[in-house]
Amino acid sequence: MLNKRTATNALITIICAGYLVQQLVPNLQLDLLLPGRDYLQYSNEWYRLFTVALTHGGLMHLAFNMYSLYILGTPIEYAYGKNKFLAIFTVSLLTGSLASVFLNTSNHSSVGASGAIFGLFGAFLIVGKSIGANVREIAVIIGLNFALGFILGGVDWRAHLGGLIGGLITTQLLLTRRR
């Protein structure tokens, strides 16, 4: 039976509600997306490192990210619990955003929760063995997602890479502390 009181479902609800509000409030997305390094340094609006997860480049972008969040977040949350899952998600979001800001051109802007989603891919790589998942298949999915980012263009692969690294490191630290 689906437990509706999960952090995963709460994040999906918050992100989808954020997207819906942006459809109703003109220009709100511009106040929440992740702007380039120059703007951030000038404005000091560093909260955008986190609010970027509420923004998406359309309904399909939102749908793919929320499906991935559900598919990856549910077993990770089950394996680690709500607090550790939220720590992995938050650190991955932050490292993905920081990679986007500091590795892209200074005027680049980004939308979406993909950095955090890639962090969950990284977490799933580590936790996968303990829950009986095929880690090789997970690595292939990560590789395909990176390739699609390059093929489709307009995808912030730096945020994906930063999130992946953040998820790997955070999960490894949590695993080490658990022992």
Catalytic residue flag (residue 114): yes
Report, in angstroms and rounded to the nearest whole number, the Rg of the chain calculated over CA atoms: 16
Catalytic residue flag (residue 56): no
32, two tokens = 């929440």
Query: How many Cβ atoms sit within 10 Å of the Cβ of residue 32?
Result: 20
Instruction: Look at the block and give the residue holding tokens 């359309």.
Output: 58
| CA–CA gap between residue 112 and residue 166 (Å, rounded) | 16
| CA-to-CA dists, residue 114 to 41, 44, 93, 108, 134, angstroms | 23, 23, 8, 16, 22
Q: Which of 68, 108, 114, 130 is catalytic?
A: 114
Q: Which of 68, 100, 110, 160 is catalytic?
A: 160
What stretches of the chain show up as alpha helix (H) in DSSP?
Answer: 7-24, 28-32, 37-43, 48-51, 59-80, 82-103, 114-128, 135-152, 157-178
176, two tokens = 């080490």
Q: Which residues are catalytic?
A: 114, 160
